[in-house]
Amino acid sequence: MDLQYEVLIIGSGPGGMTAAIYASRAGLKTAILESSAPGGKLVKTHLVENYPGYNSITGVDLAMKMHNHSLAFGCEYLYGDVTSVEPIEGGFRVHSATGDVFTSKVVIAATGTVERQLGLENEDLLVGKGLSYCAVCDGAFYRNDPVIVVGAGNSALEESIYLTQFADKVTIVMRRDVFRADKAAQDNVERNPKIEIIQKHIPESFLLDENGRIAGLKIKSVETGETIDLLGRAVFPYIGADPASHYLSALGITDEEGYVLVNPEMETAIPGLYAIGDMTQKTLRQIVTATGDGSIAAQNAFKYLH
């Protein structure tokens, strides 16, 4: 069969967009297939202060610069939620939730991770009713209200700082008594008068008002088991993420947690199928590591095709 593309990139985060730049500049017929807005987690990040060339830039601005660059050399931008990747003779079929099928000689998987849920009752039903996984998206809805952030890593601390421009108080709830974040992020949180930190507690259940919206969070001490009702008009969980690799699960190229196994060339065990960025088994998940992965995958895709 005639294949539509030489390189099809699934996902338009920093890694996917970098792969698109390298592949299309190399003269390959390239497309990005994305189910949402370009940028991945960049569009959910308030400020980026560790990407070379920018002392400080908003995640949305950086995402749009990358997006425009990714299309500058002829790459197509397609919308679709991928459900499976099927190896065929000479390439791959990529199936989407709408029934559309795309074909390509090479596939680069770059769909990153999805936010981990708290695992509390009615969590799915409360999204948009005070429960949010994106402070940049929803923080402005809670002006002059108290809000709660769950987590102790960089994302939890950075988004807590962001929320202080709207909320009158931000309470960080963390399981341990030490942060898992950079020293700079810790310092910013600890000197902000709007932020309170509650250590050695875990979420137990949501508190709801008479309209079924979030009114707070019941939290439990990991040491004594005692519970506290913590008031807040919104809860923002930042407790980690899981790989968005469900569409590759039947191919035998992931570990037990779903992270894709690749070699230093970003190659999976299936020739012509590459994976990059946060969805791969790696130690550091950052914008710069994703962009590096994208350039390596695209260059190796060019070599593979020629």
Q: What domains can you pick out in the chain, each with its CATH number?
A: 5-115+241-305 (3.50.50.60), 124-237 (3.50.50.60)
Check residue 126 and give its pLDDT: 94
**Alpha-carbon distance values, 47 to 44, 98, 178, 219 (Å):** 9, 34, 23, 29
Check residue 29 and give its pLDDT: 97
75 is catalytic: no
Q: How would residue 136 be classed by pLDDT, with cut points 50, 70 and 90?
A: confident
138 is catalytic: yes
Relative orientation angle of helices 287-305 and 14-25, to the nearest 10 degrees: 30
Beta bridge partners of 234: 147
Record the tokens describing residue 226, joined without a space.
Answer: 């005692």
β 101-109/169-173 pair status: unpaired
- DSSP for residue 138: H
β 146-150/47-48 pair status: unpaired
% of the chain with per-residue pLDDT over 90: 89
Answer yes or no: are the C-beta atoms of 159 and 59 closer than 8 Å. Answer: no
Give residue-wise pLDDT tens across range 8-32.
Answer: 999 999 999 999 999 999 999 999 9
Check residue 47 and give its pLDDT: 82
Alpha-carbon gap, residue 221 to 31, rounded angstroms: 50
Q: Identify the active-site residue in 75, 138, 278, 293.
A: 138
Q: Spell out the residues 6+ positions from residue 133 whose beta carbon is closer than 8 angstroms to its own.
A: 44, 115, 127, 236, 237, 238
Q: Average pLDDT of 193-220? A: 97
- DSSP for residue 180: B
Beta bridge partners of 194: none
Q: Average pLDDT of 70-78? A: 97
**Alpha-carbon distance values, 197 to 101, 151, 172, 177, 229 (Å):** 49, 10, 5, 10, 15
Check residue 2 and give its pLDDT: 64
Number of helices (H), then strands (E), in the chain: 6, 18
Q: How would residue 1 be classed by pLDDT, with cut points 50, 70 and 90?
A: low
Question: Cβ atoms within 10 A of the Cβ of 178, count?
Answer: 9
The three-state secondary structure class of 304 is: helix
Q: How would residue 97 be classed by pLDDT, with cut points 50, 70 and 90?
A: very high
Q: The dihedral of CA 227, 228, 232, 238: what is its sign?
A: negative
Q: Identify the active-site residue in 61, 81, 100, 134.
A: 134
Question: What pTM, to 2 d.p., does this model score?
Answer: 0.82
pLDDT of residue 187 exceeding 70, the answer is yes
Best CA proximity match to 172, nearest among 204, 150, 191, 194: 150
91, HSE (Cβ side, Cα atoms, 13 Å): 21
Radius of gyration, alpha carbons of the chain = 21
Alpha-carbon gap, residue 215 to 56, rounded angstroms: 34
Give residue-wise pLDDT tens across range 227-253.
Answer: 999 999 999 999 988 999 999 999 999
Most confident of 176-185, 266-275, 281-290: 266-275
Answer yes or no: are the C-beta atoms of 292 and 264 closer than 8 Å. Answer: no
Check residue 49 and give its pLDDT: 86
Check residue 161 and give its pLDDT: 95
Alpha-helix runs per DSSP H in the chain: 14-25, 59-70, 135-138, 154-163, 183-190, 287-305
End-to-end CA distance of the chain: give it in Å, rounded: 19
Q: Average pLDDT of 135-161? A: 94
Alpha-carbon gap, residue 295 to 69, rounded angstroms: 14
Alpha-carbon gap, residue 135 to 155, rounded angstroms: 10
pLDDT of residue 39 exceeding 60, the answer is yes
Give the distance, in angstroms, between the CA of residue 68 and the centroid of all CA atoms in the same chain: 20
Q: Average pLDDT of 146-154? A: 96
Q: Average pLDDT of 105-109? A: 98
